[in-house]
């Protein structure tokens, strides 16, 4: 069909040309043949070329027109034609041809320079745009309101804030700072470069603002994590009678998610529905993410279920919503649904699901997800690989974690890989191995970061390695010239406190360069509980109640200390404070995997289908343990009731129910593995030691802090936790 584009077309067509076979002719060809015929304009006239160029819709004919034009010399005398050719070339993806034409004809006419700059900017060739602009500048060719918007666009895309600022100076120097298009481009550039305050200054001085500018500012605030200001601007925009479009709606949804504002999330959703934006997949996905970030997973699920078309982002948004809000079981169920859907899980999905398994301590499902990843030949990047190691360690399978770690990753281990493995050893109480890995890491030339030190200090703490921990803390400052963070101090206080060095811990807090936070005081309070030091505990608690007045866990911990020393009056006072502030003890929850299913138990749970059998088993176990010499430790029962009642309350702790369920259901010899969301209590800890001895059963409990491996009457934590 390109045969039609021969030079013969540039001569007046004969009458026969009207009888051209129309169906075989592309519409635009038909158009200009028509044009020639009826207007009888000479093709030796630039106006005819102009028409030809306008109707040309692909590269080949464009090249032919260009070569015909070259013979006429029109291009040199008519920059309009040259500009059209440049624009067309870049539109059809041949910026090289556009550039060589430009180089041949550019001269000092800013019109052609602007055309080439725009051509580059429109196809995203930012470097070329900026390079051309600087050549233009050097040659003294004046930039104008047709130059700046495109140069600023390139700066915005590349986040070149200094480049953008120097363009801004140029804009002011040349007097284009009140041009609406230039102003809009400046606002957009500053917003995208994260210089939102500079953007705001330009925005505030604008005489006329369109929606594009409002959107740029609203998005800019949201991207700069200044969600509240983003929403204030939205309401100002609405006051000016402008309606948020779908692009703005996405930013607003994200801002509301950042703020976790449940009420506003509903009104954003309503706005989106009212304006019919939900058909837009990006908007619909942003609504799911918004609800998920607000913690309203139910609403996220409803929004998800209502979508006619879903993509990977829709699934991943809901999955991470479940995972981040502690609904790990729901996340795993959703993953199963995704696997049989038309959308295939991607590495992001895998990362979310592997992390959910780690959170839940669900080894069986974790293994399944791992083999799914491997069998599906999914690309395992280092982040996912680290998450897999972490999952095995957190699910109690330290051996597989070590194996995966030792096998290595194709792009090598990064500092997070080492951190994950060190922390894995730490939570299982293998302090020496953690220290060994810490030195191996340095031998291999990997520089430890502040997280590494947190991991190693807590590993020392869990293993009671006081001297080694002290040395690491010293090295941190002297060898690595790093300032210890508050987290490092918290780890040190924990390490010293657990080992009974309460005074040293207290002195360390006193010498901290910044104010101690709740983590530091919490560690001291925990140590006071272990060593039954009510006086120092009171001091720590006073600070905690000031810093975190709403955190019920600290009240409970202090109550435990009072209860242990029979100060029931103080326990009662604290209970009153909790009541008046509407604080509740966080609900304990333990899970156990049995036959590919996760069974969960709350304290004194009566919702499990087999709760009566479980209760009976718990009572039998209690008798067996008593006969073996276990004395119930009632110090952690807050109620001032008779000892016998306290024992009764202890029996139905969530972790005891889960372990009893395991003993009831699982074959002999199979270790029982339970995950608890809070710290394991003293009585349960002691009870599990007895059960492991009496029943010759390995029991593994992962609590909020670490792993406890109970075997033959001992625990791997050596009673440090």
Q: Which of 476, 681, 691, 700 binds Zn ion (CB under 5 A)?
A: 681
Binding letters toward Zn ion, positions 697-716, x by CB under 5 A: -----------x------x-
Rounded to whole angstroms, the Cα distance separating 437 from 97 reads: 58
Min CB(498)–Zn ion separation in Å: 12
Q: Where are the beta strands (DSSP E) in 137-234?
A: none
CB 202, CB 231: distance < 8 Å = no
Per-state percent for the chain, helix, strand, coil, to nearest 5: 70, 5, 30
Min CB(284)–Zn ion separation in Å: 45
Closer to Zn ion by CB, 176 or 720: give it: 720
717 near Zn ion, rule: CB under 5 A: yes
Closer to Zn ion by CB, 95 or 590: give it: 590
Closer to Zn ion by CB, 247 or 684: give it: 684
Min CB(622)–Zn ion separation in Å: 12
Closer to Zn ion by CB, 285 or 716: give it: 716
Min CB(396)–Zn ion separation in Å: 13
Neighbours of 239 (CB within 10 A): 8
Closer to Zn ion by CB, 35 or 602: give it: 602
Q: Where are the beta strands (DSSP E) in 68-179?
A: none
Q: What are the residues whose beta carbons fall under 8 Å from the beta carbon of 502, sequence distance 6 or more?
A: 496, 524, 527, 528, 531, 533, 536
One DSSP character per residue, 269-303 reads HHHHHHTTGGGSHHHHHHHHHHHHHTT-HHHHHHH
Binding letters toward Zn ion, positions 472-511, x by CB under 5 A: ----------------------------------------
Q: Which of 272, 472, 508, 684 binds Zn ion (CB under 5 A)?
A: 684
Closer to Zn ion by CB, 507 or 714: give it: 714
- Residue given tokens 């895998």 in the structure block: 350
Min CB(572)–Zn ion separation in Å: 22
Rounded to whole angstroms, the Cα distance separating 314 from 304 reads: 7
Min CB(398)–Zn ion separation in Å: 15
Rounded to whole angstroms, the Cα distance separating 52 from 55 reads: 5
Min CB(676)–Zn ion separation in Å: 9
630 near Zn ion, rule: CB under 5 A: no
Min CB(654)–Zn ion separation in Å: 8
Q: Strand 699-702 relative to strand 672-676: parallel, antiparallel, unpaired?
A: parallel
Q: How many residues does the chain have?
A: 721
Closer to Zn ion by CB, 646 or 708: give it: 708
Residue 702 gets which letter from DSSP? E
CA angle 626, 629, 631 (to 5 degrees): 70
689 near Zn ion, rule: CB under 5 A: no
Token couple for 459: 């590993």
Closer to Zn ion by CB, 468 or 683: give it: 683
Min CB(599)–Zn ion separation in Å: 18
How many residues bind Zn ion, per CB under 5 A? Answer: 7
Min CB(696)–Zn ion separation in Å: 18
Token couple for 452: 């590494």
Closer to Zn ion by CB, 188 or 433: give it: 433
Using the contact rule CB under 5 A, the part of the chain among 79-87, 543-551, 671-679, 684-692 near Zn ion is 684-692
Rounded to whole angstroms, the Cα distance separating 213 from 208 reads: 10
CB 103, CB 70: distance < 8 Å = no
Rounded to whole angstroms, the Cα distance separating 131 from 134 reads: 5
Closer to Zn ion by CB, 394 or 653: give it: 653
443: number of CA atoms within 13 Å, CB side?
6
Using the contact rule CB under 5 A, the part of the chain among 291-299, 388-396, 548-556, 680-688 near Zn ion is 680-688
Token couple for 291: 């609800």
Binding letters toward Zn ion, positions 282-301, x by CB under 5 A: --------------------
Rounded to whole angstroms, the Cα distance separating 474 from 216 reads: 49
Q: What are the residues whose beta carbons fall under 8 Å from the beta carbon of 685, sequence distance 6 or more?
A: 708, 715, 719, 721
CB 647, CB 686: distance < 8 Å = no
Min CB(717)–Zn ion separation in Å: 3
Neighbours of 8 (CB within 10 A): 10
Min CB(222)–Zn ion separation in Å: 45
Site for Zn ion in 650-679 (CB under 5 A): 653
Closer to Zn ion by CB, 160 or 393: give it: 393
Closer to Zn ion by CB, 369 or 684: give it: 684
Q: Which residues contact Zn ion (rule: CB under 5 A)?
A: 653, 681, 683-684, 708, 715, 717
């Amino acid at each position: 069909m390109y045969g039609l584009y021969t030079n013969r077309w540039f001569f007046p067509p004969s009458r026969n040309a009207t009888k051209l076979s129309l169906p075989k002719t592309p519409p635009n060809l038909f158009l200009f043949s028509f044009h020639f015929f009826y207007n009888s304009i000479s093709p030796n006239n630039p106006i005819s070329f102009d028409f030809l160029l306008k109707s040309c819709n692909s590269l080949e004919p464009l090249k032919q027109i260009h070569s015909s034009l070259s013979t006429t010399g029109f291009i040199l005398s008519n920059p309009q034609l040259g500009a059209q050719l440049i624009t067309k070339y870049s539109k059809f993806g041949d910026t090289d041809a556009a550039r060589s034409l430009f180089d041949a004809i550019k001269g000092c006419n800013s019109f052609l320079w602007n055309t080439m700059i725009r051509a580059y900017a429109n196809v995203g060739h930012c470097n070329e745009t900026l390079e051309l602009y600087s050549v233009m500048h050097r040659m003294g060719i004046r930039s104008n309101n047709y130059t700046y918007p495109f140069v600023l666009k390139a700066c915005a895309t590349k986040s070149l804030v200094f480049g953008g600022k120097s363009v801004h100076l140029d804009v002011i120097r040349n007097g284009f700072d009140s041009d609406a298009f230039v102003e809009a481009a400046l606002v957009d550039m500053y917003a995208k470069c994260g210089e939102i305050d500079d953007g705001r200054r330009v925005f505030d001085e604008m005489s006329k603002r369109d929606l594009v500018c409002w959107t740029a500012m609203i998005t800019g605030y949201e991207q700069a994590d200044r969600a509240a200001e983003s929403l204030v601007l939205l309401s100002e925009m609405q006051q000016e009678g402008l309606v948020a479009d779908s692009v703005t709606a996405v930013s607003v949804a994200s801002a509301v998610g950042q703020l976790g504002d449940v009420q506003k999330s509903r009104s954003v959703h309503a706005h989106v529905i009212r304006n019919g934006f939900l058909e837009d997949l990006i908007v619909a996905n942003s609504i799911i993410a918004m609800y998920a970030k607000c913690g309203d997973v139910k609403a996220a699920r409803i929004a998800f279920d209502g979508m006619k078309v879903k993509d990977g982002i829709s699934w991943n948004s809901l999955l991470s919503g479940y995972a981040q809000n502690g609904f790990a079981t729901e996340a795993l169920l959703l993953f199963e649904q995704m696997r049989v859907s038309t959308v295939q899980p991607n590495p992001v999905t895998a990362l979310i699901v592997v992390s959910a398994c780690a959170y839940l301590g669900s080894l069986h499902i974790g293994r399944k997800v791992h083999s799914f990843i491997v069998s599906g030949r999914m690309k395992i990047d280092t982040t996912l690989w680290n998450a897999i190691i972490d999952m095995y360690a957190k699910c109690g399978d330290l051996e597989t974690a070590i194996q995966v770690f030792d096998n290595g990753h194709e792009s090598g281990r990064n500092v997070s890989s080492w951190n994950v493995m060190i922390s894995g050893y730490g939570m299982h109480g293998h302090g020496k191995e953690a220290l060994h890995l810490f030195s191996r890491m340095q031998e291999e030339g990997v520089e430890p970061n502040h997280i590494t030190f947190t991991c190693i200090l807590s590993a020392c703490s869990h293993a009671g390695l006081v001297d080694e921990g002290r040395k690491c803390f010293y090295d941190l400052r002297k060898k690595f010239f790093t300032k210890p963070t508050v987290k490092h101090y918290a780890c040190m206080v924990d390490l010293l406190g657990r080992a009974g060095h309460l005074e040293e811990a207290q002195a360390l807090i006193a010498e901290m360069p910044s104010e101690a936070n709740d983590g530091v005081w919490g560690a001291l309070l925990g140590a006071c509980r272990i060593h039954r030091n009510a006086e120092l505990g009171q001091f720590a608690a006073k600070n905690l109640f000031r810093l975190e007045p709403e955190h019920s866990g600290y009240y409970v911990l202090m109550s435990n200390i009072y209860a242990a020393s029979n100060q029931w009056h103080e326990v009662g006072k604290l209970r009153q404070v909790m009541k008046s502030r509407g604080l509740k003890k966080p609900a304990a929850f333990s899970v156990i995997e049995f036959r590919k299913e996760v069974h969960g138990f709350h304290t004194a749970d009566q919702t499990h289908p087999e709760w009566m059998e479980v209760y009976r088993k718990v009572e039998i176990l209690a008798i067996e343990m008593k006969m073996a010499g276990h004395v119930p430790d009632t110090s952690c029962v807050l109620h001032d009731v008779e000892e016998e009642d306290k024992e009764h309350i202890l029996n139905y702790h969530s972790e005891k129910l889960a372990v009893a369920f395991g003993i009831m259901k699982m074959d002999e010899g199979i270790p029982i593995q339970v995950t608890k969301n809070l710290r394991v209590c003293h009585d349960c800890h002691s009870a599990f030691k007895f059960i492991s001895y009496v029943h010759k059963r390995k029991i593994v409990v992962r609590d909020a802090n670490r792993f406890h491996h109970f075997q033959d009457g001992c625990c791997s934590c050596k009673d440090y936790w």
